[in-house]
Structure 1
Amino acid sequence: MNFLANLGRQPVAWVLLFLSALTLEIAALYFQYVLELRPCIMCIYQRTAVFGILFSACLPLISNNILTRLLAYIGVGVSAVWGLVIALEHVEIQTAKSLFAICEIVPNFPTWAPLHEWMPSIFAATGDCGDINWSFVGMSMPQWMIVIFAIYTGVLALVLMSKMINKKAR
């Protein structure tokens, strides 16, 4: 348990987290601009959650102390859980046979951070949430994102639980 409890102090852990999120962002842009798969609003929200993980991982890379690790744990946790919820909703929209299972067209970003206006090439939604234009081993992209966000959430939970267990053992 000491390994997991001390993982946040290791720069390599934050580098791996950063690189995994960066790889997902590059893959998203590859799907969008090379394979010409148009992202829907739910895709954009999931992309934003991955950016949250990416930027959270940067904090301990800049300065690895208790405050930056705490902020990073919070940022990763919020982003991973939010991304998981959005991916679950996205799969529900794709699998629902209801005419009322639709998604928004314009992202609902805060008025103080209209990312879709600032960087439309990354955050503008142009696709339909109900479309399944890509799958791998029988799973659609949002189904894979459920797996990815669940892994992020699970690893974070293991690290935090091991930290609590380690503190109680002292």
Structure 2
Amino acid sequence: MNTLIHFAQSRLAWLTLTLSAALLLIIALFFQYGMSLNPCVMCIYQRLAVIGLMLAGIVGTLGYRSRFFRLIAVILWGISSIWGLKFAIDLVDLQMNPSPFATCAFLPEFPSWMPLHEWLPSVFMPSGMCTDAPWIFGGLSMGQWMIGIFSAYVIALVIFIIPTLMKNIHQTPRPM
């Protein structure tokens, strides 16, 4: 347990999160530009969640010795991985259960103060349809793969924080 706690609070753990998310972003851009697979709105939201994971990893890598920065990084990790998982599940639902009444938007609904699709359209402008599944590998669509990937990030987060919580519980002085 001490080894897991030590690793969870190390720079290497946060760097691993950063690099794995960066690799996913590179792969997404390769699919878009190298394989001409147009991302839909749900894909863009998942892409943003991957960027959130990368930012969590960067915050953790730079501030791994600080409880405050680790807490910020863990919160960002949790929000990003759960949010990404939600959109991956929604995407697969749209693909598996097509309906003319259940469609996705043509443009992402970013806040008016942060229109990422206008600032950086090459990364955040959707050009595909959510109901299309143009890429299948191992019998699974990209959305199904992303469910597995985001689930792995959620599981890793739980594995990451439980030893730290257990350590804090055992170190808390008991009232007399």
Shift of 1:101: 2.0
Q: Deviations over 1:54-93 (max 9, x none)?
A: 0111112223211110000000000000000000000000
Give the 5 Å matches for 1:113-124. 113-124=114-125
Residue equivalent to 2:63: 63
Shift of 1:7: 2.7
Give the 5 Å matches for 1:1-170. 1-64=1-64, 65-170=66-171
Q: Deviations over 1:10-43 (max 9, x none)?
A: 1111111101000000000000001000000000
Q: Which has the higher contact order (CA 8 A, sep 6+)?
A: 1
Task: Give the Cα–Cα distance (whole angstroms) in 2 for the partners of residues 86 and 2 of structure 1.
Answer: 35
- State the TM-score, normalized to the length of structure 2: 0.93
- Residue identity in the other structure for 1:29: L
Shift of 1:168: 2.4
Conservation of the 8 A alpha-carbon contact between 1:80 and 1:153: yes
- 1:6 partner SS: helix
Question: How many residue pairs are counted as aligned between the two chains?
Answer: 170
- Residue identity in the other structure for 1:38: N
Task: Give the Cα–Cα distance (whole angstroms) in 1 for the partners of residues 133 and 60 of structure 2.
Answer: 37
- Residue identity in the other structure for 2:69: T
Shift of 1:2: 1.9
- Residue identity in the other structure for 1:55: L
Conservation of the 8 A alpha-carbon contact between 1:6 and 1:163: no
Task: Give the Cα–Cα distance (whole angstroms) in 1 for the partners of residues 128 and 119 of structure 2.
Answer: 19
Conservation of the 8 A alpha-carbon contact between 2:12 and 2:61: no
Unmatched 5+ residue regions in structure 1?
Answer: none
Moved more, 58-67 or 128-137: 58-67
Residue equivalent to 2:174: none
Unmatched 5+ residue regions in structure 2?
Answer: 172-176
Shift of 1:100: 1.3
Percent of residue pairs identical: 42
- 2:167 partner SS: helix
- Residue identity in the other structure for 2:146: M
- State the TM-score, normalized to the length of structure 1: 0.96
